[in-house]
Amino acid sequence: MSRFLGKLGFIHRRLWREDGLYRAALLFGPAPLLGGLLAGALWAGVQALDAPTRQLPQWATVRPGPSYWSTDQPQTVQPAMALPPIRADGGLAGYEAGWQVTTNPIQVSPMMDVEVKPTPLTAFSLDGPSVDVAQLIAEQPQTSLYVGEGRGFLAVRTAGVYAITARIERPAGPIANCVMRMGFGPRRIMSNVRVGFGNETMTYDAPQFDLQAGLYPIIWVFGCWHDHEVVGPGRMTLLVGHPGDPMPLPARANDIVRQVAINP
């Protein structure tokens, strides 16, 4: 037996030294391949058992981005509330025309991401479709950087297809950075930061909405700053296209309403 094993060892060493095909067959033959497959299956099993106990760090968690209305075709939106009774003067019972506005501090990142803080600094009401940066500055919020945030309801009295968007204007003067956001119902219409904005007028694309009679929540955020100070001039105007209008125009006096404050 020892002589037989010795001969096998001699043959193996000779072939290993002189025959490359023999070396390849020995390294990649059935036995090594089977061992590799078994090792791979074992590794996959260990990973599967370990996966449920591992959690991604917060920075690696995938989160959906903000949801925006499409501008391709009219979107159907349900009212948040039914249309209140109409008074003799044409107003809505329990509501008055205009916005409820607050000034809110903001934090601007080096990448120009604007975070609007939820705690308001000042509060006031605003009539008409436009807000000017000068009106925000006049409120004298006790912080260096802030924006205006307006809330109200689009009062739809006649069912049909409406278009909603905004226009921002900055006359000639020092350039500034401006943020403009607008939401309608559960989604945003736009969210934009203009860097180095000056002597320019910009109107955003207007999504269309198939609406029934009722009240629809609408919100905007607007402000301009340079370095670490809020600056003007600058103006934001809400544009509304009513059924049959060829293009959106500044909102009518009774388009936007706010709830009447109830004194205790």
CA gyration radius, the chain = 33
d(CA 159, CA 23): 83
d(CA 74, CA 88): 33
Tokens 């299956």, located at residue: 41
Tokens representing 52 are: 């449920």
Domains and CATH numbers, the chain: 2-53 (no CATH), 75-259 (2.60.120.260)
For residue 8, the surrounding DSSP H or E stretch is: helix 2-18
**How far from the centroid of its chain's Cα atoms is residue 92's Cα?**
32
Tokens 């403009």, located at residue: 180
Do the Cβ atoms of 216 and 182 come closer than 8 Å? no
Q: What confidence score (pLDDT) does residue 13 get?
A: 61
d(CA 191, CA 193): 7
Q: What confidence score (pLDDT) does residue 57 get?
A: 46
Q: Measuring CA to CA, how many Å separate 176 from each of 52, 179, 237?
A: 49, 10, 18
Q: Which of the residues in the chain have pLDDT under 70?
A: 1-66, 262-264
Do the Cβ atoms of 132 and 233 come closer than 8 Å? yes
Tokens representing 184 are: 């309608």
d(CA 105, CA 147): 7
Q: What confidence score (pLDDT) does residue 39 get?
A: 54
Tokens 């706010």, located at residue: 258
Tell me which amino acid residue 249 is.
Answer: L
Do the Cβ atoms of 148 and 123 come closer than 8 Å? no
d(CA 176, CA 228): 11
Write the pLDDT tens digit of every residue in 107-141.
Answer: 999 898 999 999 999 999 999 999 999 999 999 99
Phi, psi of 15 (to 5 degrees): -65, -40
d(CA 136, CA 230): 9
d(CA 106, CA 253): 30
Tokens representing 178 are: 């401006």
Q: What confidence score (pLDDT) does residue 19 get?
A: 61
